């Protein structure tokens, strides 16, 4: 599939209303409006290549949201202008193949999102060769994704794609370290809402790629009664009763910082109890006290060094906000192949994409 050369990028702060301007949509796109000016946007056909959109859906991601994030990342880099260095140094007709390559060992997350960024920038067909999948462990030097398209487009998309790919792979790598430590116990590492504004769905996806599980995606998914709610409501029991009355079908988790707070919470019927800053010894007492009547989550004081000790007490979850707020990136680079001329003939892109270790060749926008 190809994108029109004159397609404008989504303009941040630009005019609202009218036809959608983002998403790489051409005249044949499913979002094309009718005579009455209405637009019915199907997330599986609008903007992104349908196969890529389907892969994102299968990963638990909204392709429209991914496309919006890709637009924002690219527009932030271009600031309604052009890539002046690339335009000045690279011939317009030049075509190349480039490899996204891991500079260090880790767990990969965000490859399909990097493809979405490319689809926003590329003004002609591009072919991809997928060497690994999200969630795979890789060694330094491993090729992750190879792309053949116009050289200008590759270089313009490079930083936006890498910013997201490196960030998400760093989260997945950190999560994998925790998941490995917990292996053999019933405890699972899970995230919090301490995420980058606008990137929560992607960062929580990266946690899943690393072997972790997600807590709530938003404030509306479940109730978590913390100390400030207790103060505002006049007590733990009062807070619990108020939530149950107002939202009877919503799961309720209650934070406690002392063992003596647990029995009344159990009596109220809490679904999950968060043990805040308990020691491993106190956590084991809490597990014995609850005796399976509610799920238990440890939070605070957790490190990779002591995670196993907490897990072996019998808790269900270890809540680690650092997965999304403090994980370092995984170093990944984009390298043009200097020894190949992918633009010798019209079929060069497909030939390059089909070469290599037998990975599937795909085309996208």
- Residues of the chain above pLDDT 70, percent: 80
**167 in catalytic set:** no
**276 in catalytic set:** yes
pLDDT at residue 339, rounded to an integer: 55
Q: Average of pLDDT values for 226-238?
A: 90
- Candidates 104, 133, 137, 159; catalytic one: 159
Separation between Cα atoms, residue 240 and residue 236, nearest integer Å: 6
> Distance from CA of residue 45 to its chain's centroid?
21
pLDDT confidence bin for 254, thresholds 50/70/90:
very high
- Candidates 255, 297, 316, 363; catalytic one: 255
- Candidates 77, 125, 276, 350; catalytic one: 276
pLDDT, tens digit, 9 for 90 and up, residues 1-53: 333 333 333 332 233 333 333 334 433 333 434 444 443 444 444 578 999 99
**159 in catalytic set:** yes
- Candidates 226, 258, 293, 301; catalytic one: 226
- Candidates 137, 193, 194, 308; catalytic one: 194
Three-state SS sequence of 97-133: EEEEEECCCEECCCHHHHHHHHHHHCCCCEEEEECCC
Cα torsion at 324, 107, 201, 18 (round to 10°)?
A: 130
Separation between Cα atoms, residue 118 and residue 347, nearest integer Å: 20
Per-residue pLDDT at 364 exceeds 90: no
**227 in catalytic set:** no
Classify residue 60 as exposed, middle or buried by CB count within 10 Å of its CB (0-12, 13-18, 19+).
exposed
The CA distances from residue 252 to 226, 231, 285, in Å, are 11, 17, 22
Model pTM?
0.82
């Amino acid at each position: 599939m190809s994108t029109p050369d004159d397609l404008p990028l989504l303009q941040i702060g630009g005019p609202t209303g009218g036809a959608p301007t983002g998403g790489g949509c051409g005249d044949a796109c499913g979002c094309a409006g009718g005579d009455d000016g209405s637009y019915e946007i199907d997330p599986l056909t609008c903007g992104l290549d349908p196969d890529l959109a389907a892969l994102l859906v299968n990963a638990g991601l909204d392709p429209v949201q991914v496309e919006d994030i890709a637009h924002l990342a690219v527009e932030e880099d271009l600031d309604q202008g052009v890539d002046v260095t690339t335009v000045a140094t690279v011939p317009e007709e030049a075509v190349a193949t480039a490899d996204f390559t891991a500079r260090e060992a880790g767990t990969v997350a965000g490859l399909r999102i990097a493809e979405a960024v490319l689809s926003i920038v590329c003004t002609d067909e591009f072919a991809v060769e997928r060497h690994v999948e999200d969630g795979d462990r890789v060694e330094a030097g491993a090729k992750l994704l190879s792309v053949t398209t116009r050289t200008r487009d590759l270089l313009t998309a490079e930083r936006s794609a890498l910013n997201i790919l490196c960030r998400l792979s760093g989260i997945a790598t950190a999560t994998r370290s925790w998941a490995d430590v917990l292996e053999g116990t019933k405890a699972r590492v899970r995230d919090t809402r301490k995420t980058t504004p606008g990137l929560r769905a992607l960062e929580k996806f990266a946690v899943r790629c690393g072997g972790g599980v997600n807590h709530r995606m938003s404030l509306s998914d479940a109730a978590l009664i913390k100390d400030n709610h207790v103060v505002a409501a006049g007590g733990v029991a009062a807070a619990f009763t108020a939530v149950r009355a107002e939202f009877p079908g919503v799961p309720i988790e209650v934070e406690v910082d002392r063992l003596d707070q647990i029995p009344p919470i159990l009596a109220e019927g809490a679904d999950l109890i968060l043990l805040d800053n308990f020691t491993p010894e106190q956590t084991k007492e809490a597990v014995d006290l609850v005796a399976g009547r509610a799920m238990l989550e440890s939070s605070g004081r957790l490190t990779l060094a002591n995670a196993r000790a907490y897990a072996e007490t019998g808790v269900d979850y270890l809540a680690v906000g650092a997965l999304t707020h403090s994980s370092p990136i995984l170093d990944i680079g984009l390298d043009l192949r200097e020894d190949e001329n992918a633009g010798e003939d019209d079929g060069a892109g497909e030939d390059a994409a089909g070469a290599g270790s037998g990975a599937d060749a795909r085309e996208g926008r």
